[in-house]
Amino acid sequence: MVTLSRTPSHPHERNPGTPFDLSAVEGALVNRSAIERRAATLPTRRTVKKEWQAAWLLHAITTIDLTTLSGDDTPGTVRRLCAKARQPLRPELMEALGIAGRPIATGAVCVYHEMVPTAVEALKGTGIPVAAVSTGFPAGLNPHALKLKEIEASVAAGAAEIDIVISRHHVLTGNWKALYDEVRDFREACGPAHMKAILAVGELGTLKNVMRASLVCMQAGSDFIKTSTGKESVNATLQNSLVMVRAIREFYEQTGYKVGFKPAGGIRTAKQALDWLILMKEELGEEWMQPHLFRIGASALLNDIERQLEHFAYGRYASMQYQPLG
Ligand SMILES: O=C[C@H](O)COP(=O)(O)O
């Protein structure tokens, strides 16, 4: 597992007086049909089979922000999730895969603020960070001052990563400066915690808006940009992800700073996890496949990865009694 450490190299921290570069945002363009074509062919760019597939799936586990964001979450369900994060695969399966004793854990556990202390306690000593969704997740329509307090409370409770949601209306009205100011305030409130900015791409209207919002959030100091809350009707797709990783590449070329990427929402199958790993490898290179720069936000993905690894190890799927519920 990787504990993200903040470096002071983000342009926003090196030069706190750096003005907001509106022209870089407004000048950003998206060629929609080229994005559609590329996204459609990405899954076929590489064949990841057998041992390679098993190795990629084991790697995918280390990038999962294992998530529960339900109204009926209880300390009990959060503790069970944390146990799964600490030991994502059954010992017999690890043995059958020839990796008995190898440390493997998910990238983080992601919960609502209320569940942060439970998760922090359950993960004590493991190095697995707790991520808290914040700022009026999922709609992001709470008063600004309350959002800042919510971030501060989660950091004080031990969350090392904060997943903020942006105000979609700033994007839909083209008020880029307001978005920049909002995200900068969030970044400041996060203090030592890593900040992931959730764009809720399914509510931004156009891919051009997705590109522009990505650039604004990165200028304002986001450590990661994340597609979705998982609650919108359209969540992570290869198309909107491609636009975001290209924004990350552009920002890196301009500033030398590496911002991470987190697709989230609706990623439930091992095959999808492989598609997103291929996207990262093809567009940004191997370093961006690592958990310090890549996370998959998912509540159910781990179940299918385990299932596929069982098939690899035993040549058949495990009987239902061994399948995790839910
Ligand atoms: O941030 C993570 C998402 O809320 C998870 O969405 P999901 O339940 O569709 O996997």
What are the tens digits of pLDDT across the range 282-323?
Answer: 999 999 999 999 999 999 999 999 999 999 999 988 765 555
Per-residue model confidence (pLDDT) at position 326: 45
Report CA(7)–ligand 1 centroid distance (Å). 28
Q: Which of 64, 69, 72 to mutate to test the pocket of ligand 1 (most atoms within 8 A of CB)?
A: 69
Using one digit for the tens of pLDDT, what is the confidence trace for 207-239? 999 999 999 999 999 999 999 999 999 999 999
* Nearest-atom index, ligand 1, CA of 226: 1
Residue numbers of the domain that contains 218: 19-315
* Residue 299 Cβ contacting ligand 1 at under 6 Å: yes
Domain membership of residue 115 (yes or no) is yes
DSSP calls for 211-264: HHHHHHHHHTT-SEEE---S-SSS---HHHHHHHHHHHHHHHHHH----EEE-B
| Averaged pLDDT, groups of 10, the chain, 326 residues long | 58 66 90 94 80 94 98 98 98 96 96 98 98 98 98 98 98 97 96 97 97 97 97 96 97 94 98 97 97 97 97 83 53
Does residue 324 lie within any of the structural domains?
A: no
- The reply to whether 321 falls in a domain is no
Burial of 98 (0-12, 13-18, 19+ CB in 10 A): exposed
* Three-state SS at 95: helix
Asked whether residue 13 is assigned to any structural domain, the reply reads no
Backbone angles phi, psi at 72, to 5 degrees: -100, 20
* ipTM reported for the complex, 2 dp: 0.97
Domain count, the chain: 1
For residue range 85-100, list pLDDT tens digits in order.
Answer: 999 999 999 999 999 9
* Cβ neighbours of residue 319 closer than 8 Å, sequence gap 6 or more: none
166 contact partners, CB below 8 Å, separation of at least 6? 140, 179, 182, 183, 197, 198, 199, 200, 213, 217
- Collapsing DSSP to helix, strand or coil, 105 comes out as coil
Between the CA of 66 and the centroid of ligand 1 the distance, in Å, is 9
Looking at the domain assignment, is residue 207 inside a domain? yes
CATH of the domain at 295: 3.20.20.70
> Residues with catalytic annotation?
163, 226, 262
Inside any domain, residue 132: yes
274: in domain: yes
Q: What is the 97 CA–ligand 1 centroid distance (Å)?
A: 28
Q: Ligand 1: does its nearest atom lie under 6 Å from the Cβ of 167?
A: no
Compute the distance from residue 229 Cα to the ligand 1 centre, in Å: 6
CA-300 nearest atom, ligand 1: 10
